[in-house]
Structure 1
Amino acid sequence: MNILITGSSSGFGKLTTETLLVEGYTVFATMIGVATFSKKAKEELQTFAQNTKGHLHIMELDVTNQDSINNAINEIYNIVDQIDVLINNAGIGGTGWTEAFPESQFTKIFDVNVFGVQRMMRAVLPQMRKRKEGLIINLSSIQGRVVFPYSGIYTATKFAVEGLTESYHYELSQFGIDVVMVQPGGFKTNFESVQSGPHDQERLESYGELINAPDEVWGAPDEDKDFLPHPQPVPDAIVQLIEMPNGKRPIRTTVDPLLNSLGTAAINETALKAQQDLATHLEWKVTV
Protein backbone atom coordinates (compact mmCIF):
# COMPACT_ATOMS: atom_id res chain seq x y z
CA MET A 1 0.00 0.00 0.00
CA ASN A 2 1.30 3.44 -0.98
CA ILE A 3 0.86 6.22 1.56
CA LEU A 4 1.53 9.93 1.04
CA ILE A 5 1.97 12.07 4.16
CA THR A 6 2.64 15.79 4.43
CA GLY A 7 4.70 17.54 7.10
CA SER A 8 6.97 14.57 7.78
CA SER A 9 9.99 16.38 9.16
CA SER A 10 8.84 16.51 12.79
CA GLY A 11 6.06 15.89 15.30
CA PHE A 12 3.15 13.65 14.37
CA GLY A 13 4.32 13.52 10.75
CA LYS A 14 7.75 12.11 11.47
CA LEU A 15 6.51 9.65 14.09
CA THR A 16 3.68 8.50 11.81
CA THR A 17 6.15 7.97 8.96
CA GLU A 18 8.31 5.80 11.22
CA THR A 19 5.31 3.84 12.48
CA LEU A 20 4.08 3.16 8.93
CA LEU A 21 7.55 1.98 7.89
CA VAL A 22 7.64 -0.47 10.80
CA GLU A 23 4.28 -1.80 9.60
CA GLY A 24 5.76 -2.41 6.15
CA TYR A 25 4.04 0.27 4.10
CA THR A 26 5.52 2.22 1.22
CA VAL A 27 5.65 5.78 2.50
CA PHE A 28 6.10 8.96 0.51
CA ALA A 29 7.20 11.31 3.27
CA THR A 30 7.01 14.92 2.15
CA MET A 31 8.33 18.09 3.75
CA ILE A 32 9.68 21.51 2.96
CA GLY A 33 13.40 22.30 3.00
CA VAL A 34 14.56 18.77 2.22
CA ALA A 35 18.01 20.01 1.21
CA THR A 36 18.26 22.73 3.88
CA PHE A 37 16.56 23.02 7.29
CA SER A 38 14.87 19.59 7.04
CA LYS A 39 18.04 17.81 5.90
CA LYS A 40 18.69 16.34 9.35
CA ALA A 41 15.13 15.01 9.59
CA LYS A 42 15.50 13.48 6.12
CA GLU A 43 18.71 11.71 7.12
CA GLU A 44 17.18 10.46 10.37
CA LEU A 45 14.21 8.99 8.52
CA GLN A 46 16.48 7.35 5.95
CA THR A 47 18.54 5.75 8.71
CA PHE A 48 15.40 4.61 10.52
CA ALA A 49 13.94 3.08 7.36
CA GLN A 50 16.97 0.82 6.88
CA ASN A 51 15.87 -1.30 9.84
CA THR A 52 12.21 -1.65 8.81
CA LYS A 53 10.32 -3.71 6.26
CA GLY A 54 8.75 -0.63 4.73
CA HIS A 55 9.92 1.42 1.76
CA LEU A 56 10.66 5.13 2.17
CA HIS A 57 10.67 7.89 -0.43
CA ILE A 58 11.35 11.44 0.74
CA MET A 59 10.52 14.43 -1.42
CA GLU A 60 9.97 18.15 -1.31
CA LEU A 61 6.36 19.29 -1.05
CA ASP A 62 5.03 22.65 0.06
CA VAL A 63 1.26 22.47 0.61
CA THR A 64 0.99 26.22 -0.01
CA ASN A 65 2.52 25.96 -3.49
CA GLN A 66 0.55 24.27 -6.28
CA ASP A 67 3.62 23.77 -8.49
CA SER A 68 5.41 22.04 -5.62
CA ILE A 69 2.43 19.74 -5.11
CA ASN A 70 2.18 18.95 -8.82
CA ASN A 71 5.89 18.13 -9.02
CA ALA A 72 5.71 15.80 -6.01
CA ILE A 73 2.60 14.01 -7.29
CA ASN A 74 4.17 13.52 -10.72
CA GLU A 75 7.33 12.18 -9.07
CA ILE A 76 5.27 9.71 -7.04
CA TYR A 77 3.44 8.47 -10.15
CA ASN A 78 6.80 7.87 -11.80
CA ILE A 79 7.56 5.43 -8.97
CA VAL A 80 4.18 3.78 -8.31
CA ASP A 81 0.88 3.50 -10.16
CA GLN A 82 -1.37 4.80 -7.41
CA ILE A 83 -1.66 6.59 -4.08
CA ASP A 84 -3.81 4.51 -1.74
CA VAL A 85 -3.77 6.78 1.31
CA LEU A 86 -3.26 10.51 1.77
CA ILE A 87 -2.51 11.78 5.28
CA ASN A 88 -2.87 15.56 5.54
CA ASN A 89 -0.68 16.22 8.54
CA ALA A 90 1.15 19.47 7.71
CA GLY A 91 0.04 22.28 9.97
CA ILE A 92 1.15 25.36 11.90
CA GLY A 93 -0.36 27.20 14.84
CA GLY A 94 -0.29 30.32 16.91
CA THR A 95 -1.30 31.22 20.47
CA GLY A 96 -1.83 34.59 22.07
CA TRP A 97 -4.36 37.41 22.00
CA THR A 98 -6.29 36.71 18.80
CA GLU A 99 -6.82 40.40 18.05
CA ALA A 100 -3.06 40.89 17.82
CA PHE A 101 -2.70 38.48 14.88
CA PRO A 102 -2.66 40.61 11.70
CA GLU A 103 -4.26 39.46 8.47
CA SER A 104 -0.90 38.26 7.12
CA GLN A 105 -0.61 35.71 9.93
CA PHE A 106 -4.22 34.58 9.55
CA THR A 107 -3.65 34.13 5.83
CA LYS A 108 -0.47 32.11 6.33
CA ILE A 109 -1.96 29.72 8.89
CA PHE A 110 -5.15 29.21 6.87
CA ASP A 111 -3.02 28.65 3.77
CA VAL A 112 -1.21 25.73 5.39
CA ASN A 113 -3.93 24.25 7.60
CA VAL A 114 -6.99 24.61 5.35
CA PHE A 115 -6.15 25.56 1.78
CA GLY A 116 -3.24 23.12 1.85
CA VAL A 117 -5.65 20.30 2.73
CA GLN A 118 -7.89 21.26 -0.19
CA ARG A 119 -4.94 21.41 -2.60
CA MET A 120 -3.69 17.99 -1.56
CA MET A 121 -7.12 16.38 -1.81
CA ARG A 122 -7.65 17.79 -5.28
CA ALA A 123 -4.25 16.40 -6.26
CA VAL A 124 -5.06 12.77 -5.39
CA LEU A 125 -8.82 12.52 -5.86
CA PRO A 126 -9.07 12.17 -9.65
CA GLN A 127 -7.07 8.95 -9.50
CA MET A 128 -8.93 7.68 -6.43
CA ARG A 129 -12.32 8.37 -8.01
CA LYS A 130 -11.24 6.60 -11.17
CA ARG A 131 -10.33 3.51 -9.14
CA LYS A 132 -13.35 3.94 -6.83
CA GLU A 133 -11.07 3.34 -3.88
CA GLY A 134 -8.94 5.36 -1.51
CA LEU A 135 -8.50 6.76 1.98
CA ILE A 136 -7.83 10.32 3.09
CA ILE A 137 -7.02 11.06 6.73
CA ASN A 138 -6.99 14.71 7.76
CA LEU A 139 -5.34 15.75 11.01
CA SER A 140 -7.80 17.92 12.88
CA SER A 141 -7.59 18.60 16.61
CA ILE A 142 -9.78 18.61 19.69
CA GLN A 143 -9.62 22.36 18.99
CA GLY A 144 -11.75 21.67 15.95
CA ARG A 145 -14.55 20.90 18.42
CA VAL A 146 -13.81 22.61 21.76
CA VAL A 147 -12.46 26.12 22.22
CA PHE A 148 -9.55 27.22 24.39
CA PRO A 149 -8.89 30.94 24.88
CA TYR A 150 -5.87 32.53 23.23
CA SER A 151 -5.85 30.08 20.34
CA GLY A 152 -8.48 31.61 18.09
CA ILE A 153 -6.50 31.53 14.88
CA TYR A 154 -5.56 27.84 15.15
CA THR A 155 -9.02 26.89 16.37
CA ALA A 156 -10.61 28.65 13.40
CA THR A 157 -8.52 26.61 10.96
CA LYS A 158 -9.36 23.32 12.65
CA PHE A 159 -13.08 24.12 12.75
CA ALA A 160 -12.71 24.70 9.00
CA VAL A 161 -10.92 21.36 8.54
CA GLU A 162 -13.76 19.64 10.41
CA GLY A 163 -16.40 21.07 8.09
CA LEU A 164 -14.38 20.50 4.95
CA THR A 165 -13.58 16.90 5.87
CA GLU A 166 -17.16 16.06 6.80
CA SER A 167 -18.45 17.47 3.50
CA TYR A 168 -15.96 15.36 1.56
CA HIS A 169 -16.87 12.35 3.72
CA TYR A 170 -20.48 12.49 2.57
CA GLU A 171 -19.75 13.33 -1.05
CA LEU A 172 -17.05 10.77 -1.71
CA SER A 173 -18.65 7.83 0.09
CA GLN A 174 -20.52 7.34 -3.18
CA PHE A 175 -17.18 6.65 -4.89
CA GLY A 176 -15.87 4.12 -2.38
CA ILE A 177 -13.49 6.69 -0.89
CA ASP A 178 -13.26 7.19 2.87
CA VAL A 179 -12.47 10.70 4.10
CA VAL A 180 -11.97 10.79 7.86
CA MET A 181 -10.14 12.76 10.50
CA VAL A 182 -8.09 12.28 13.63
CA GLN A 183 -8.55 14.72 16.51
CA PRO A 184 -5.40 14.75 18.67
CA GLY A 185 -5.36 16.38 22.07
CA GLY A 186 -2.22 17.72 23.73
CA PHE A 187 0.97 15.72 23.24
CA LYS A 188 4.67 16.30 23.80
CA THR A 189 5.89 17.27 20.34
CA ASN A 190 7.78 20.26 18.97
CA PHE A 191 4.53 21.85 17.72
CA GLU A 192 4.36 24.55 20.38
CA SER A 193 8.02 25.44 20.03
CA VAL A 194 7.68 26.21 16.31
CA GLN A 195 4.43 28.17 16.39
CA SER A 196 4.53 31.92 16.65
CA GLY A 197 2.76 34.48 18.78
CA PRO A 198 1.00 37.59 17.48
CA HIS A 199 3.03 39.85 15.21
CA ASP A 200 1.15 43.08 15.92
CA GLN A 201 3.26 44.27 18.82
CA GLU A 202 1.50 47.62 19.18
CA ARG A 203 -1.91 45.93 19.46
CA LEU A 204 -0.44 43.38 21.85
CA GLU A 205 1.01 46.02 24.15
CA SER A 206 -2.37 47.75 24.32
CA TYR A 207 -3.53 44.87 26.56
CA GLY A 208 -1.32 46.32 29.29
CA GLU A 209 -0.95 44.21 32.40
CA LEU A 210 -2.89 41.38 30.75
CA ILE A 211 -0.38 41.03 27.93
CA ASN A 212 0.95 37.71 29.29
CA ALA A 213 -2.45 36.23 30.21
CA PRO A 214 -2.18 33.60 27.43
CA ASP A 215 0.78 32.07 29.29
CA GLU A 216 -1.58 31.14 32.14
CA VAL A 217 -3.41 28.82 29.75
CA TRP A 218 -0.67 27.67 27.41
CA GLY A 219 2.45 28.15 29.53
CA ALA A 220 5.48 30.26 28.69
CA PRO A 221 7.05 29.62 25.25
CA ASP A 222 10.17 28.07 26.80
CA GLU A 223 8.35 26.07 29.49
CA ASP A 224 9.11 22.34 29.56
CA LYS A 225 5.71 20.62 29.64
CA ASP A 226 6.69 17.22 31.04
CA PHE A 227 3.06 16.44 31.88
CA LEU A 228 2.19 16.02 28.19
CA PRO A 229 1.95 12.39 27.01
CA HIS A 230 4.11 10.80 24.32
CA PRO A 231 2.48 11.18 20.88
CA GLN A 232 2.69 7.51 19.79
CA PRO A 233 -1.10 6.98 20.23
CA VAL A 234 -1.73 9.30 17.28
CA PRO A 235 0.17 7.28 14.63
CA ASP A 236 -1.22 4.12 16.21
CA ALA A 237 -4.73 5.44 15.62
CA ILE A 238 -3.81 6.31 12.03
CA VAL A 239 -2.57 2.77 11.40
CA GLN A 240 -5.80 1.37 12.85
CA LEU A 241 -7.83 3.52 10.47
CA ILE A 242 -5.75 2.39 7.50
CA GLU A 243 -6.26 -1.26 8.40
CA MET A 244 -10.05 -0.97 8.82
CA PRO A 245 -12.34 -2.16 6.00
CA ASN A 246 -13.39 0.49 3.53
CA GLY A 247 -16.71 2.07 4.46
CA LYS A 248 -16.39 1.01 8.12
CA ARG A 249 -14.11 3.78 9.35
CA PRO A 250 -15.52 6.34 11.81
CA ILE A 251 -15.51 9.88 10.49
CA ARG A 252 -13.80 11.10 13.67
CA THR A 253 -11.21 9.41 15.87
CA THR A 254 -10.32 11.35 19.01
CA VAL A 255 -6.92 10.67 20.61
CA ASP A 256 -6.78 12.64 23.83
CA PRO A 257 -5.37 10.82 26.88
CA LEU A 258 -4.56 14.13 28.58
CA LEU A 259 -8.20 15.27 28.89
CA ASN A 260 -9.87 11.92 28.21
CA SER A 261 -11.73 13.56 25.30
CA LEU A 262 -13.62 15.82 27.73
CA GLY A 263 -16.03 17.94 25.74
CA THR A 264 -14.88 16.64 22.38
CA ALA A 265 -16.52 13.23 22.70
CA ALA A 266 -19.84 14.75 23.80
CA ILE A 267 -19.87 17.17 20.87
CA ASN A 268 -18.91 14.42 18.42
CA GLU A 269 -21.74 12.17 19.63
CA THR A 270 -24.32 14.94 19.53
CA ALA A 271 -23.21 16.16 16.11
CA LEU A 272 -23.24 12.65 14.64
CA LYS A 273 -26.82 12.05 15.76
CA ALA A 274 -27.87 15.45 14.43
CA GLN A 275 -26.29 14.71 11.04
CA GLN A 276 -27.88 11.26 10.90
CA ASP A 277 -31.30 12.74 11.71
CA LEU A 278 -30.81 15.40 9.06
CA ALA A 279 -29.72 12.85 6.45
CA THR A 280 -32.74 10.67 7.20
CA HIS A 281 -35.15 13.58 7.01
CA LEU A 282 -33.70 14.88 3.74
CA GLU A 283 -33.21 11.38 2.31
CA TRP A 284 -29.57 11.89 1.45
CA LYS A 285 -28.12 9.12 -0.67
CA VAL A 286 -24.77 9.33 1.11
CA THR A 287 -23.17 7.60 4.08
CA VAL A 288 -23.29 9.50 7.37
Structure 2
Amino acid sequence: MAKVFITGIAGGFGKPMALALLAKGHVVAGSVRSRAGRNAATAAELEAAGARIVEMDVTASASTEAGVAQAIAALDGLDVLFNNAGIGAYGIQELMSPEDMTRVFDVNVTGVQRVMRAALPHLRAQGRGTVLYTSSLIGRIATPFYGTYSASKWALEAIVECYRTELSGFGIESCIIEPGAMPTAFFDGMVAPNDPAREGSYGDFAQVPAMSAAGLAQMLDATPDQRPERIAEAVVALLDMPFGKKPFRTVVDHTGVGPQIERYNDVLHEVTRAVFTNFGIAQMLDLNA
Protein backbone atom coordinates (compact mmCIF):
# COMPACT_ATOMS: atom_id res chain seq x y z
CA MET A 1 0.00 0.00 0.00
CA ALA A 2 1.13 3.53 -0.71
CA LYS A 3 2.27 6.31 1.61
CA VAL A 4 0.17 9.30 0.52
CA PHE A 5 0.43 12.99 1.42
CA ILE A 6 -2.60 15.15 0.57
CA THR A 7 -2.47 18.94 0.81
CA GLY A 8 -5.73 20.58 1.83
CA ILE A 9 -6.95 17.34 3.41
CA ALA A 10 -9.78 19.00 5.35
CA GLY A 11 -11.40 20.42 2.23
CA GLY A 12 -14.42 19.22 0.31
CA PHE A 13 -12.34 16.89 -1.86
CA GLY A 14 -9.58 16.08 0.63
CA LYS A 15 -11.64 14.51 3.41
CA PRO A 16 -13.58 11.91 1.35
CA MET A 17 -10.42 11.18 -0.60
CA ALA A 18 -8.42 10.53 2.57
CA LEU A 19 -11.12 8.33 4.08
CA ALA A 20 -11.42 6.29 0.88
CA LEU A 21 -7.64 5.77 0.69
CA LEU A 22 -7.47 4.79 4.36
CA ALA A 23 -10.26 2.28 3.79
CA LYS A 24 -8.17 0.72 1.01
CA GLY A 25 -5.24 0.30 3.38
CA HIS A 26 -3.10 3.20 2.23
CA VAL A 27 -1.16 5.22 4.80
CA VAL A 28 -2.28 8.85 4.65
CA ALA A 29 -0.98 12.17 5.91
CA GLY A 30 -2.51 15.51 5.10
CA SER A 31 -2.04 19.20 5.62
CA VAL A 32 -4.34 21.84 7.06
CA ARG A 33 -3.50 25.48 7.32
CA SER A 34 -4.52 25.39 10.98
CA ARG A 35 -5.97 22.72 13.24
CA ALA A 36 -8.03 25.37 15.03
CA GLY A 37 -11.28 26.91 13.90
CA ARG A 38 -13.29 25.36 11.08
CA ASN A 39 -10.75 22.57 10.48
CA ALA A 40 -10.71 21.30 14.06
CA ALA A 41 -13.55 18.78 13.84
CA THR A 42 -12.47 17.45 10.44
CA ALA A 43 -8.83 17.11 11.52
CA ALA A 44 -9.92 15.18 14.62
CA GLU A 45 -12.16 12.90 12.55
CA LEU A 46 -9.39 12.17 10.06
CA GLU A 47 -6.90 11.46 12.83
CA ALA A 48 -9.39 9.09 14.44
CA ALA A 49 -9.62 7.30 11.09
CA GLY A 50 -5.84 6.92 11.00
CA ALA A 51 -4.58 9.93 9.06
CA ARG A 52 -1.59 11.96 10.21
CA ILE A 53 -2.27 15.70 10.20
CA VAL A 54 0.36 18.43 9.81
CA GLU A 55 -0.12 22.19 9.86
CA MET A 56 1.15 23.78 6.68
CA ASP A 57 0.49 27.03 4.84
CA VAL A 58 1.23 26.58 1.12
CA THR A 59 1.55 30.35 0.72
CA ALA A 60 4.65 30.38 2.97
CA SER A 61 7.83 28.64 1.86
CA ALA A 62 9.21 27.93 5.34
CA SER A 63 5.89 26.48 6.49
CA THR A 64 5.66 24.33 3.36
CA GLU A 65 9.20 22.98 3.73
CA ALA A 66 8.55 22.11 7.38
CA GLY A 67 5.13 20.61 6.70
CA VAL A 68 6.33 18.34 3.89
CA ALA A 69 9.26 17.19 6.04
CA GLN A 70 6.89 16.42 8.92
CA ALA A 71 4.58 14.48 6.62
CA ILE A 72 7.42 12.38 5.19
CA ALA A 73 8.61 11.65 8.74
CA ALA A 74 5.10 10.72 9.89
CA LEU A 75 4.63 8.42 6.89
CA ASP A 76 8.17 7.06 7.12
CA GLY A 77 8.55 7.87 3.43
CA LEU A 78 6.47 9.14 0.54
CA ASP A 79 5.06 7.34 -2.50
CA VAL A 80 2.21 9.60 -3.60
CA LEU A 81 1.96 13.39 -3.35
CA PHE A 82 -1.45 14.90 -4.00
CA ASN A 83 -1.48 18.66 -4.63
CA ASN A 84 -5.08 19.24 -3.62
CA ALA A 85 -5.06 22.53 -1.66
CA GLY A 86 -6.85 25.25 -3.55
CA ILE A 87 -9.03 28.33 -3.37
CA GLY A 88 -11.83 29.54 -5.63
CA ALA A 89 -12.78 32.91 -7.06
CA TYR A 90 -16.03 34.13 -8.56
CA GLY A 91 -17.22 37.43 -9.94
CA ILE A 92 -17.04 39.82 -12.87
CA GLN A 93 -13.44 39.80 -13.99
CA GLU A 94 -12.89 43.57 -14.09
CA LEU A 95 -13.96 43.81 -10.46
CA MET A 96 -11.19 41.47 -9.31
CA SER A 97 -8.39 43.53 -7.81
CA PRO A 98 -4.78 42.59 -8.54
CA GLU A 99 -4.55 41.62 -4.87
CA ASP A 100 -7.53 39.25 -5.28
CA MET A 101 -5.86 37.60 -8.26
CA THR A 102 -2.53 37.35 -6.50
CA ARG A 103 -4.15 35.62 -3.53
CA VAL A 104 -5.73 32.97 -5.77
CA PHE A 105 -2.55 32.35 -7.76
CA ASP A 106 -0.49 32.20 -4.57
CA VAL A 107 -2.48 29.17 -3.42
CA ASN A 108 -3.40 27.44 -6.67
CA VAL A 109 -0.16 27.89 -8.61
CA THR A 110 2.72 29.16 -6.51
CA GLY A 111 1.51 27.05 -3.59
CA VAL A 112 1.86 23.93 -5.72
CA GLN A 113 5.35 25.02 -6.71
CA ARG A 114 6.33 25.40 -3.06
CA VAL A 115 5.06 21.91 -2.27
CA MET A 116 6.85 20.43 -5.27
CA ARG A 117 10.17 22.06 -4.35
CA ALA A 118 9.82 20.64 -0.85
CA ALA A 119 8.85 17.10 -1.88
CA LEU A 120 10.69 16.41 -5.12
CA PRO A 121 14.22 15.97 -3.70
CA HIS A 122 12.86 12.99 -1.73
CA LEU A 123 10.98 11.51 -4.70
CA ARG A 124 13.87 11.99 -7.12
CA ALA A 125 16.33 10.44 -4.67
CA GLN A 126 14.26 7.27 -4.39
CA GLY A 127 13.74 7.13 -8.16
CA ARG A 128 10.00 6.55 -8.08
CA GLY A 129 6.85 8.39 -7.15
CA THR A 130 3.39 9.50 -8.18
CA VAL A 131 2.24 13.12 -8.13
CA LEU A 132 -1.44 14.00 -8.50
CA TYR A 133 -3.02 17.41 -8.89
CA THR A 134 -6.55 18.74 -8.45
CA SER A 135 -7.41 20.91 -11.43
CA SER A 136 -10.89 21.59 -12.82
CA LEU A 137 -12.97 21.33 -15.96
CA ILE A 138 -12.64 25.10 -16.14
CA GLY A 139 -8.91 24.61 -16.12
CA ARG A 140 -9.57 23.49 -19.72
CA ILE A 141 -12.22 26.01 -20.80
CA ALA A 142 -13.18 29.41 -19.40
CA THR A 143 -16.71 30.30 -18.35
CA PRO A 144 -18.14 33.68 -17.30
CA PHE A 145 -17.35 34.93 -13.79
CA TYR A 146 -14.66 32.31 -13.16
CA GLY A 147 -11.89 34.11 -15.03
CA THR A 148 -9.43 34.37 -12.13
CA TYR A 149 -10.02 30.81 -10.96
CA SER A 150 -9.84 29.43 -14.49
CA ALA A 151 -6.63 31.34 -15.14
CA SER A 152 -5.03 29.80 -12.06
CA LYS A 153 -6.05 26.30 -13.12
CA TRP A 154 -4.93 26.88 -16.71
CA ALA A 155 -1.57 27.91 -15.26
CA LEU A 156 -1.52 24.81 -13.06
CA GLU A 157 -2.18 22.60 -16.08
CA ALA A 158 0.72 24.24 -17.91
CA ILE A 159 3.28 23.69 -15.16
CA VAL A 160 2.07 20.12 -14.68
CA GLU A 161 2.60 19.47 -18.40
CA CYS A 162 6.21 20.51 -17.82
CA TYR A 163 6.59 18.54 -14.60
CA ARG A 164 5.22 15.46 -16.36
CA THR A 165 8.02 15.52 -18.92
CA GLU A 166 10.85 16.81 -16.75
CA LEU A 167 10.25 14.23 -14.01
CA SER A 168 9.61 11.18 -16.18
CA GLY A 169 13.30 10.32 -16.37
CA PHE A 170 13.40 10.21 -12.57
CA GLY A 171 10.61 7.63 -12.38
CA ILE A 172 7.94 10.09 -11.26
CA GLU A 173 4.54 9.78 -12.93
CA SER A 174 2.06 12.66 -13.07
CA CYS A 175 -1.76 12.67 -13.07
CA ILE A 176 -4.26 15.53 -13.17
CA ILE A 177 -7.79 15.19 -11.77
CA GLU A 178 -10.30 17.47 -13.51
CA PRO A 179 -13.58 17.64 -11.54
CA GLY A 180 -16.68 19.45 -12.58
CA ALA A 181 -18.44 21.75 -10.13
CA MET A 182 -19.21 19.96 -6.89
CA PRO A 183 -21.46 20.93 -3.93
CA THR A 184 -18.78 21.51 -1.30
CA ALA A 185 -17.79 24.20 1.19
CA PHE A 186 -15.31 25.29 -1.51
CA PHE A 187 -17.97 27.72 -2.73
CA ASP A 188 -18.26 29.30 0.71
CA GLY A 189 -14.60 30.30 0.77
CA MET A 190 -14.37 31.80 -2.70
CA VAL A 191 -12.54 35.06 -3.26
CA ALA A 192 -15.15 37.59 -4.40
CA PRO A 193 -14.50 41.12 -5.65
CA ASN A 194 -15.34 44.11 -3.51
CA ASP A 195 -15.51 47.13 -5.79
CA PRO A 196 -18.99 48.71 -5.45
CA ALA A 197 -18.24 51.68 -7.70
CA ARG A 198 -17.18 49.53 -10.65
CA GLU A 199 -19.94 47.04 -9.95
CA GLY A 200 -22.52 49.82 -10.09
CA SER A 201 -21.30 50.83 -13.53
CA TYR A 202 -22.30 47.39 -14.84
CA GLY A 203 -25.96 48.18 -14.20
CA ASP A 204 -28.36 45.24 -14.31
CA PHE A 205 -25.60 42.92 -15.51
CA ALA A 206 -24.05 43.13 -12.03
CA GLN A 207 -26.86 40.85 -10.83
CA VAL A 208 -26.08 38.10 -13.35
CA PRO A 209 -23.24 36.39 -11.39
CA ALA A 210 -25.55 35.80 -8.42
CA MET A 211 -28.29 34.45 -10.67
CA SER A 212 -25.80 32.19 -12.43
CA ALA A 213 -24.51 30.85 -9.10
CA ALA A 214 -28.07 30.12 -7.95
CA GLY A 215 -28.72 28.23 -11.16
CA LEU A 216 -25.58 26.16 -10.66
CA ALA A 217 -26.62 25.31 -7.11
CA GLN A 218 -30.02 24.13 -8.37
CA MET A 219 -28.37 22.00 -11.04
CA LEU A 220 -26.04 20.38 -8.51
CA ASP A 221 -28.97 19.66 -6.17
CA ALA A 222 -30.68 17.90 -9.09
CA THR A 223 -27.59 15.84 -9.97
CA PRO A 224 -27.03 13.43 -7.07
CA ASP A 225 -24.08 11.71 -8.75
CA GLN A 226 -22.16 14.99 -8.79
CA ARG A 227 -20.58 14.58 -5.37
CA PRO A 228 -17.00 14.73 -3.97
CA GLU A 229 -17.12 10.99 -3.33
CA ARG A 230 -16.85 10.45 -7.09
CA ILE A 231 -13.44 12.14 -6.98
CA ALA A 232 -12.35 9.90 -4.13
CA GLU A 233 -13.41 6.86 -6.16
CA ALA A 234 -11.46 8.09 -9.18
CA VAL A 235 -8.32 8.61 -7.10
CA VAL A 236 -8.58 5.15 -5.54
CA ALA A 237 -8.98 3.66 -9.01
CA LEU A 238 -5.96 5.58 -10.30
CA LEU A 239 -3.72 4.34 -7.51
CA ASP A 240 -4.89 0.79 -8.22
CA MET A 241 -3.57 1.06 -11.78
CA PRO A 242 -0.04 -0.18 -12.57
CA PHE A 243 2.79 2.31 -12.26
CA GLY A 244 3.39 4.11 -15.55
CA LYS A 245 0.01 3.07 -16.98
CA LYS A 246 -2.21 5.74 -15.43
CA PRO A 247 -3.87 8.35 -17.67
CA PHE A 248 -2.38 11.82 -17.49
CA ARG A 249 -5.82 13.44 -17.14
CA THR A 250 -8.91 12.04 -15.43
CA VAL A 251 -12.21 13.88 -15.81
CA VAL A 252 -14.75 13.46 -12.99
CA ASP A 253 -18.10 14.93 -13.96
CA HIS A 254 -21.73 13.84 -14.14
CA THR A 255 -23.30 17.05 -15.47
CA GLY A 256 -22.77 16.29 -19.17
CA VAL A 257 -19.76 18.57 -19.62
CA GLY A 258 -17.17 15.85 -18.96
CA PRO A 259 -17.32 14.08 -22.34
CA GLN A 260 -16.63 17.34 -24.16
CA ILE A 261 -13.56 18.00 -22.02
CA GLU A 262 -12.37 14.43 -22.56
CA ARG A 263 -12.66 14.96 -26.32
CA TYR A 264 -10.60 18.14 -26.00
CA ASN A 265 -8.02 16.34 -23.86
CA ASP A 266 -7.72 13.49 -26.37
CA VAL A 267 -6.97 15.91 -29.18
CA LEU A 268 -4.42 17.79 -27.09
CA HIS A 269 -2.68 14.54 -26.14
CA GLU A 270 -2.43 13.57 -29.81
CA VAL A 271 -1.03 16.99 -30.71
CA THR A 272 1.45 16.88 -27.81
CA ARG A 273 2.74 13.43 -28.77
CA ALA A 274 3.07 14.46 -32.42
CA VAL A 275 5.07 17.57 -31.50
CA PHE A 276 7.28 15.64 -29.07
CA THR A 277 7.84 12.94 -31.69
CA ASN A 278 8.95 15.57 -34.19
CA PHE A 279 11.50 16.82 -31.66
CA GLY A 280 12.64 13.30 -30.78
CA ILE A 281 11.51 13.51 -27.14
CA ALA A 282 8.33 11.43 -27.16
CA GLN A 283 9.83 9.12 -24.52
CA MET A 284 9.25 11.92 -21.99
CA LEU A 285 5.52 11.04 -22.22
CA ASP A 286 5.96 7.33 -21.57
CA LEU A 287 5.04 7.31 -17.87
CA ASN A 288 1.35 7.76 -18.70
CA ALA A 289 -1.00 5.50 -20.59
Q: Which has the higher helix share?
A: 2
TM range (shorter): over 0.9
Once the two structures are TM-superposed, the CA of residue 260 in structure 1 deviates from its matched residue by: 4.6
Matching residue's letter, 2:53: I
Matching residue's letter, 1:38: N
CA contact (8 A) 2:30 2:51 kept: yes
Pairing of 1:105-124 with structure 2 (within 5 A): 105-124=100-119
Once the two structures are TM-superposed, the CA of residue 80 in structure 1 deviates from its matched residue by: 3.8
Once the two structures are overlaid, the 10-residue window that deviates more, 116-125 or 218-227, is 218-227
Other structure's SS at 1:90 match:
coil
Once the two structures are TM-superposed, the CA of residue 73 in structure 1 deviates from its matched residue by: 2.2
Once the two structures are TM-superposed, the CA of residue 220 in structure 1 deviates from its matched residue by: 7.2
The answer as to 2:57 corresponding to 1:62 is yes
CA RMSD of aligned residues (A): 1.8
Pairing of 1:252-271 with structure 2 (within 5 A): 252-271=249-268
Q: TM-score if structure 2 supplies the norm length? A: 0.92
Change (3 A) 1:184 1:225: closer
Match of 1:38 in 2: 39
Match of 2:205 in 1: 210
CA contact (8 A) 2:100 2:191 kept: no
CA contact (8 A) 1:198 1:204 kept: no
Other structure's SS at 2:131 match:
strand
Query: How many residues are aligned here?
Result: 282
Gaps of 5+ in 1: 50-54
Q: TM-score if structure 1 supplies the norm length? A: 0.92
The answer as to 2:228 corresponding to 1:231 is yes
Once the two structures are TM-superposed, the CA of residue 225 in structure 1 deviates from its matched residue by: 4.4
1:197 pairs with one of 177, 189, 192: 192
CA contact (8 A) 1:100 1:204 kept: yes
Change (3 A) 1:273 1:198: same
Gaps of 5+ in 2: none
Match of 2:245 in 1: 248
The answer as to 2:134 corresponding to 1:136 is no
CA contact (8 A) 2:52 2:74 kept: no
Once the two structures are TM-superposed, the CA of residue 199 in structure 1 deviates from its matched residue by: 2.0
Match of 1:126 in 2: 121
Other structure's SS at 2:82 match:
strand
CA contact (8 A) 1:8 1:17 kept: yes
**Distance (Å, rounded) in 1 between the aligned partners of 2:86 and 2:73:** 27
Deviations 1:125-183 (A, max 9, x none): 11111111000000010011122111100000110111111111111111110011000
CA contact (8 A) 2:65 2:115 kept: no
The answer as to 2:154 corresponding to 1:153 is no
> Identity percentage over the alignment?
34
Once the two structures are TM-superposed, the CA of residue 78 in structure 1 deviates from its matched residue by: 3.2
**Distance (Å, rounded) in 2 between the aligned partners of 1:78 and 1:96:** 41
**Distance (Å, rounded) in 1 between the aligned partners of 2:28 and 2:159:** 25
Matching residue's letter, 1:116: G
